[in-house]
């Protein structure tokens, strides 16, 4: 009995945790969140098709796309008899397995699934190739219409191509109202009329079939038939989908019918701060960070490494060739210059040894990497204890966090690597480039960064100090582009770094446009990102590291 209670309590805690997890969408948006324990089951069991958006909540692209996806989902609410809309957050540790198995290498990714879908090595769903709403609707129309549905309430897209078939349909009289259309956009018309539950719609392959109903096939494109077999041609203003819909719905309304209401507009927004519950711990962190001079927090570096090892890297399906090399370089860099304590350093050392024994002609699966991390960790005292961002704390949900910690980690590594002079010049930036190219999940960030690497000639940088400055400048370019963006945290506005108040001698004058003095900036960065200056604030014990 006690055990059962405990189990129930645990389940309850898990459910509450899932509810409190920041999410871009809610059920009012007609978008259901699925995860590792529900995605495959839902796709397998459902008699409906599915549109799944795979996201990384930390990814600016996904946040910027969310309002558009919500509008799409609201439109698809009208098609709910055939399709459901889901989202899966690949940034959650529990979803690593499914995101790897579904081969999600960038986000946002949209995939279509037929009813009773079962994943296999080769079948991972149909990729939707666009994020433009109308293009998505067109692709979905073709995909949805290519399916034979089993449930009586679901539409039949197969065109009627013989008089016998037309007659058989009329005599079966399955719904009160039957509309027959001949149109190149018949599939879309069938979908858009789904909210009229008393109506079924079928396409006629040839207009001549209207003749068999006593209508003039040369004149008719749309007719409505009752159970007595009486057919009436309906007028059309033009050949557009809208004209067909207007004609039929006018008639149905005149006959006293009403469609299923559209999705009520919900006011839930990706950034609604009022819904966000800043717990006491986060409020305290935020107050501390905002009231302290800018500095680098060890907790953020630890979090970035934690997420890399447990989520971002094991999410990769297969490391081979260039991506294996990128993995080896990244782990080498981390092994050399990470700020973790003894057991953390040991973990990275052993992990680096593990990936290094795979040569260029072999391959390593993300699953094998994941298992290795877990196995190594079991042999060591608990390493990642903080589990919270400190300097990267956000004042609103879904902001900052991982990408902020990642930047912090990269700058820290650049300074450490230049100081230690272990790696040859150029290797540091090549490692960052390899990470972004092969493992960074935000598609836009990757495109921008790779374009910038080319424009700013990343691979021409051979001097270690120049690598530190290259990364600093690149980050400032991104800060400038993102200033004022919807993904900006108002409490942490995007500024050119360091600000005048952080480093007054880094620029020629106080003016916004004043040129930088690179040697001063370098000295500033070396100090700011030095190991001695790391703050332990927010770690489990005040001096949590030996
Ligand atoms: C490689 C990479 C590419 C990205 N590309 C995009 C993109 O294309 N589009 C997009 O929307 N988001 C992108 N992001 C995310 C984005 O840059 C921010 O991380 C995110 O918006 C969170 O911003 P933030 O306010 O927490 O500060 P961040 O920009 O994440 O900065 C974190 C911390 O680094 C320090 N810092 C700031 N500037 C510098 C600098 N120039 N040199 C040294 N230290 C600095 C500050 O202390 C700051 O608090 C990218 C992230 C990375 C790691
Ligand atoms: C989903 O992930 C959680 C946490 O990692 C785990 O406990 C659970 O067993 C997983 N479920 C499935 C079906 O894999
Ligand atoms: C997985 O994704 C990668 C990169 O997008 C692609 O090259 C590869 O063919 C995909 N594999 C499968 C089985 O779909
Ligand atoms: C339609 O479905 C069949 C199998 O049911 C498939 O072979 C075909 O590729 C699909 N066509 C489109 C356009 O999806
Ligand atoms: C429809 O058009 C065809 C050819 O244009 C003609 O032969 C036929 O008689 C027409 N049918 C009707 C019912 O007017
Ligand atoms: C076609 O008819 C519909 C419905 O009457 C109307 O809304 C639409 O503007 C028309 N389109 C064109 C291109 O005339
Ligand atoms: C949404 O907001 C509008 C005004 O902004 C308000 O009138 C409406 O009642 C709100 N709807 C819901 C469901 O909260
Ligand atoms: C690479 O590794 C494979 C097995 O892991 C081994 O068979 C092969 O000889 C190695 N090749 C080289 C060039 O070391
Ligand atoms: C700074 O540069 C911007 C354009 O880049 C210009 O509009 C502005 O006048 C300049 N300000 C100063 C103080 O030079
Ligand atoms: C640091 O490592 C030691 C063992 O090497 C471990 O006992 C200790 O808990 C670690 N501290 C933190 C904060 O991870």
| pLDDT tens figures, 20-37 | 566 889 888 999 999 999
Q: Which carries the bigger pLDDT value, residue 122 or residue 271?
A: 122
Query: What average pLDDT does range 183-210 have in this prediction?
Result: 95
pLDDT at 272 over 90: no
Q: What confidence tens digit (pLDDT) does each residue in 427-457 have?
A: 999 999 999 999 999 999 999 999 999 999 9
The radius of gyration computed from the CA coordinates of the chain, to the nearest angstrom, equals 29
Band of pLDDT at residue 270, cut at 50, 70 and 90:
very low
CATH 3.90.1300.10 fits 278-533, yes or no: no
CATH code at 163-254: 3.40.30.10
Which residue, judged by its Cα, is nearest atom 5 of ligand 5? Answer: 218
pLDDT in tens, 381-405: 988 887 899 999 999 888 999 999 9
- HSE-up (13 A, CA, CB side) for residue 102: 30
Shortest-distance atom of ligand 4 to CA 143: 14
Is residue 6 predicted with pLDDT exceeding 50? Answer: no
The pLDDT, as a whole number, for residue 267 is 59
Between 4 and 164, the more confident residue is 164
What pLDDT is attached to residue 5? Answer: 47
pLDDT at 15 over 60: no
Nearest-CA residue for ligand 7 atom 3 is 267
Give the N- to C-terminal CA distance of the chain in Å, as an integer: 44
If you search the block for the tokens 């582009």, which residue do you land on?
Answer: 481
What pairs with residue 87 in β-bridges?
33, 53
Average of pLDDT values for 155-163? 94
Range from 123-127, 264-268, 523-527 carrying the lowest mean pLDDT: 264-268
User: What local confidence, expressed as pLDDT, does residue 279 receive?
Assistant: 77
Any idea which residue has 């590291």 for tokens? Answer: 545
Superfamily of domain 17-145: Glutaredoxin (3.40.30.10)
Residue nearest to atom 2 of ligand 2 (CA): 94
Cα separation, 334 vs 232, whole angstroms: 74
* Residue (of 442, 403, 400, 397) closest to 65 by Cα position: 442
- State the Cα–Cα distance between residues 327 and 370, nearest whole angstrom: 13
Instruction: Report the alpha-carbon distance of residue 63 to residue 392 in Å, rounded.
Output: 18
Residue nearest to atom 4 of ligand 2 (CA): 94
pLDDT band at 94 (very low <50, low <70, confident <90, very high): very high
Q: Which atom of ligand 6 is nearest to the CA of 240?
A: 1
Residue 546: its pLDDT value, please?
A: 43
Structure tokens at 271: 């950034």
Distance 20 CA to ligand 2 centre (A): 18
Classify residue 91 by its DSSP letter: T
Distance of alpha carbon 349 from alpha carbon 334, whole angstroms: 9
Q: Which atom of ligand 5 is nearest to the CA of 218?
A: 1
- Return the best residue to mutate from 115, 122, 146 for the ligand 4 pocket (most ligand atoms within 8 A of CB): 146
Percent residues over pLDDT 70 in the chain:
92
For 120, residues 6+ apart whose C-beta sits below 8 A from its C-beta are none
Whole-number pLDDT of residue 513: 82
| Ligand whose nearest atom lies closest to the CA of 121 | 3
Ligand 8 center to residue 360 CA distance, Å? 8
Average pLDDT taken over every residue of the chain: 91
Distance between Cα 413 and ligand 10 center (Å): 21
Looking at the predicted structure, is the pLDDT value of residue 269 above 90? no
Fold identical between 17-145 and 278-533? Answer: no
pLDDT at residue number 21: 65
Which structure tokens are listed for 16? Answer: 């509450």
Poorest-confidence range of 82-91, 161-170, 339-348, 366-375?
A: 161-170
pLDDT greater at residue 175 or residue 13 = 175
Report phi then psi at 428, rounded to 5.
Answer: -60, -55
52-91 pLDDT tens trace: 999 998 899 999 999 999 999 999 999 999 999 999 999 9
Mutate to test the pocket of ligand 8, among 357, 359, 365 (most ligand atoms within 8 A of CB): 359
Q: What is the pLDDT of residues 206-216, one digit of tens each?
A: 999 999 888 99
* 216 Cβ inside 6 Å of ligand 5: yes
Please indicate whether residue 530, judged by its CB atom, sits closer than 6 Å to ligand 3. Answer: no
Where in the chain are the domains? 17-145, 163-254, 278-533
Q: 493 CB under 6 A from ligand 1?
A: no
For residue 96, report the distance from its CA to the centre of ligand 2, in Å. 10
In this predicted model, which residue has the larger pLDDT, 176 or 166?
Answer: 166
User: If you average pLDDT over residues 144-171, what whole number do you get?
Assistant: 91
Establish how many alpha carbons lie within 13 A of residue 213's alpha carbon, considering only the half-sphere containing its beta carbon: 36
- pLDDT for the residue 543: 56
């Amino acid at each position: 009995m006690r055990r059962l209670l405990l189990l129930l309590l645990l389940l309850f805690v898990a459910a509450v945790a899932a509810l409190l997890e920041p999410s871009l969408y809610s059920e009012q948006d007609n978008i259901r969140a699925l995860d590792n324990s529900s995605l495959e089951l839902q796709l397998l069991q459902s008699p409906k098709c599915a549109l799944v958006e795979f996201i990384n909540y930390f990814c600016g692209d996904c946040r910027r796309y969310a309002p558009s996806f919500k509008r799409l989902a609201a439109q698809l609410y009208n098609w709910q008899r055939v399709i459901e809309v889901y989202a899966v957050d690949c940034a959650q540790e529990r979803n690593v397995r499914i995101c790897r198995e579904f081969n999600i290498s960038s986000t946002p990714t949209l995939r279509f699934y037929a009813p009773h879908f079962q994943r296999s090595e080769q079948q991972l769903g149909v990729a939707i190739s666009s994020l433009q709403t109308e293009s998505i609707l067109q692709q979905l129309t073709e995909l949805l219409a290519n399916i034979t549905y089993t449930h009586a309430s679901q539409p039949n897209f197969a065109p009627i191509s013989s008089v016998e078939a037309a007659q058989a349909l009329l005599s079966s009289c399955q719904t009160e109202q039957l509309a027959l259309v001949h149109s190149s956009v018949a599939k879309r018309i069938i979908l858009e009329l789904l909210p009229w539950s008393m109506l079924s719609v079928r396409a006629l392959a040839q207009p001549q079939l209207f003749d068999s109903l006593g209508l003039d096939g040369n004149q008719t494109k749309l007719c409505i038939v009752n159970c007595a077999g009486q057919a009436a041609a309906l007028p059309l203003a033009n050949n557009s989908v809208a004209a067909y819909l207007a004609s039929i719905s006018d008639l149905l309304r005149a006959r006293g019918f009403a469609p299923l209401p559209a999705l009520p507009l919900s006011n839930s927004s990706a950034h609604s701060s009022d819904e966000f519950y800043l717990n006491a711990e986060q409020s305290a962190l935020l107050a501390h960070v905002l009231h302290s001079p800018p500095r680098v927090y060890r907790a953020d570096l630890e979090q970035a490494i934690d997420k890399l090892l447990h989520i971002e890297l094991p999410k990769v399906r297969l490391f081979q060739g260039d991506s294996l090399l990128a993995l080896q370089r990244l782990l080498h860099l981390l092994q050399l210059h990470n700020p973790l304590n003894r057991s953390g350093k040991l973990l990275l050392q052993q992990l680096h040894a593990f990936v290094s024994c795979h040569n260029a002609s072999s391959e390593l699966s993300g699953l094998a990497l994941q298992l290795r991390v877990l196995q190594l960790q079991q042999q060591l005292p608990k390493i990642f204890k903080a589990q919270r961002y400190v300097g990267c704390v956000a004042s609103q949900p879904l902001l900052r966090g991982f990408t902020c910690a990642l930047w912090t980690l990269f700058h820290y590594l650049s300074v450490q690597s230049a100081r230690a002079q272990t790696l040859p010049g150029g290797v540091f930036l090549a490692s960052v480039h390899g990470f972004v190219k092969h493992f960074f999940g935000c598609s836009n960030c990757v495109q921008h960064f790779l374009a910038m690497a080319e424009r700013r000639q990343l691979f021409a940088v051979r001097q270690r100090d120049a690598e530190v400055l290259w990364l600093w400048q690149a980050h400032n370019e991104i800060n400038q582009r993102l200033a004022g963006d919807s993904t900006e945290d108002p409490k942490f506005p995007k500024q050119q770094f360091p600000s005048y108040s952080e480093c007054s001698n880094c620029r020629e004058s106080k003016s916004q446009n004043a040129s930088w003095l690179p040697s001063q900036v370098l000295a500033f960065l070396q100090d700011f990102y030095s190991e001695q200056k790391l703050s332990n604030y927010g770690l489990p014990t005040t001096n949590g590291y030996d």
